[in-house]
Chain A
Amino acid sequence: NAGVTQTPKFQVLKTGQSMTLQCAQDMNHEYMSWYRQDPGMGLRLIHYSVGAGITDQGEVPNGYNVSRSTTEDFPLRLLSAAPSQTSVYFCASSCSLGGQRDEQFFGPGTRLTVL
């Protein structure tokens, strides 16, 4: 299993540009989420999904959109990038039927810089 994969690993954007951060998992997890990590602030939840077709807002959703058309994929869209969105973004997943451990598994992160 590849676990949780994220692409790209690094990205530089100009203010106003849009882009999509990709996230995929191959563990048949129902729950997926996106976090951002800023220095000294821990991880903050952006959006999450409890299953295909179901998404909801987290703590800091403004400026981001998500969709969940399949169990495996959970892309995060930046609509119009702003310097305040410079951060490290983590995707995570958890919950599979019959699973013995249900901690959240994290992807390797995407480091985004908005100029």
Chain B
Amino acid sequence: AQKITQTQPGMFVQEKEAVTLDCTYDTSDPSYGLFWYKQPSSGEMIFLIYQGSYDQQNATEGRYSLNFQKARKSANLVISASQLGDSAMYFCAMRVPDDCGSRLTFGEGTQLTVNP
């Protein structure tokens, strides 16, 4: 069975600083995809970044980067230069195998608060 663990229920960061949100995963399948979604207080789910298990380089999307450490089974999200608008719930998710028809398994989320 696949499992995603987010151990930080809440995180605080000062505006303009970087923050790392932790995510560890568990699967024995060599093919998997890892995702991060943002959910602001308005409730919608916003896709941020994707990392495939066979990707050689860490994924980056603007201020978001994914610190992918395969041996440690971790896929931490790094947000650089935090903004007040980054305050939201963040979910890590995994699909196994890494096929767009595979089911997504979500972690329980981390609530990020950016302080001015």
Q: Are the CB atoms of A42 and B106 closer together than 8 Å?
A: yes
Given contacts A90-B45, A108-B44, whether A102 and B100 have CB atoms under 8 Å apart is yes
| Of A30, A45, A109, the contact of B43 (CB 8 Å cutoff) | A109
Q: How far does the alpha carbon of A38 sit from the alpha carbon of B44 in the complex, in Å? A: 14
Which residues of A approach B to under 8 Å, CB–CB?
30-31, 33, 35, 40-45, 48, 50, 58, 88, 90, 92, 94-95, 99, 101-106, 108-109
Q: Establish whether residues B44 and A48, one from each chain, have CB atoms under 8 Å apart when the complex forms.
A: no
Residue of A31, A48, A104, A109 most packed against chain B (CB within 10 A): A104
B101 touches which of A31, A58, A90, A103 (Cβ 8 Å): A31
Q: Does B47 contact A (CB under 8 A)?
A: yes
Q: How far is the CB of B31 from chain A (nearest CB, A)?
A: 14
Q: A103-B35, A106-B45, A109-B43 are in contact. Are A42 and B103 (CB under 8 A)?
A: no
Q: Report if B50 contacts A (CB, 8 A).
A: yes
Tell me, in angstroms, the Cα distance from A6 to B3 when the chains sit together. Answer: 28
Interface residues contributed by chain B, number (CB under 8 Å): 18
CA distance A48 to B104 in the complex (A): 10
How many A-B contacts are there with CB distance less than 8 Å?
50
Take A43-B91, A103-B50, A108-B43 as given contacts and tell me if A58 and B103 are in contact as well, using a CB distance cutoff of 8 Å. yes
Q: Which residues of B (61-115) have their CB < 8 Å from a CB of A?
A: 91, 93, 100-101, 103-109
Compute how far the CA of A94 lies from the CA of B95 in the bound complex, rounded to whole angstroms.
12
Q: Is the CB of A109 within 8 A of B100?
A: no
Q: A45-B103, A45-B104 are in contact. Are A105 and B44 (CB under 8 A)?
A: no
Q: Which residues of A contact B107 (CB under 8 A)?
A: 42
Q: Report B-chain residues with C-beta under 8 Å of the C-beta of A88.
A: 43
Q: What residues of chain B lie closer than 8 Å to A35, measured between beta carbons?
A: 106
**Complex A-B: 9 CB contacts under 8 Å:** A30-B101, A40-B108, A50-B101, A58-B103, A90-B45, A92-B45, A94-B100, A95-B100, A104-B35
Contact B47 A103 (CB under 8 A): yes
Best-buried of A40, A43, A45, A95 by chain B (most CB within 10 Å)? A43
